[in-house]
Structure 1
């Protein structure tokens, strides 16, 4: 038994609409992942966080100084490591490390700090 022609066409249109929507979402996702620069506000907020919470151990910019008793890497060096990615930094900031204080950041703060560090790439 076959479906009535109208019913078959309806399913064909629904399927095509779903495929079109999925394709559009994929293109949007690829466009956003393709090197879009973070908002200036996020980078500035990340710098403020770095000044408040990180600058006592890390040099947070190209000309920055840090406490002489620490071996914490400077943020420019971190940003320019080949392994440094947005995901790697977010995972690092969510993980506990024996040589770092346990700083609890919200997802937005973590994103801002990561955007700031990544903004230092190639400085």
Structure 2
């Protein structure tokens, strides 16, 4: 991941944690893993793609990654990501899965 992309990602997550996003109960990590395998694995695979998307394990290990930050990020359109519209339940499951990957 490029330094600029890493800084941008970190800045977004830090801004999101400072927001007043409503905390949510974490969903089911197993369901989130299945959702990620179907919709996200082609870009967020097991390892970081050179010049591409970070692996979910990399995202999970960032100190700024929180449930609230991920919730905001997953509801915000991004030019480099497909416009995946997730239900609140699916979003909660995906967040639970990503956070389950923390070292």
TM-score (ref. length: structure 1)? 0.59
Shift of 1:69: 7.3
Q: Size of the alignment, in residue pairs?
A: 80
Shift of 1:65: 5.4
3-state SS in 1 of match to 2:36: helix
1:116 aligns with 2:97: yes
After TM superposition, the structure 1 = structure 2 runs for residues 89-100 of structure 1, keeping only pairs within 5 Å, are: 89-100=70-81
* 8 Å Cα contact 1:57/1:70 also seen in 2: no
1:47 aligns with 2:28: no
Question: Cα RMSD between the aligned structures?
Answer: 2.2
Which structure is higher in helix share? 1
TM-score (ref. length: structure 2)? 0.70
3-state SS in 1 of match to 2:95: helix
Structure 2: runs of 5+ lacking an equivalent: 1-22
Q: Distance in 2 between matches of 1:74 and 1:81?
A: 11
3-state SS in 2 of match to 1:95: coil
Structure 1: which 4+ aligned runs deviate by more than 4 Å? Answer: none
Structure 1 equivalent of residue 59 of structure 2: 78
Structure 1: runs of 5+ lacking an equivalent: 1-32
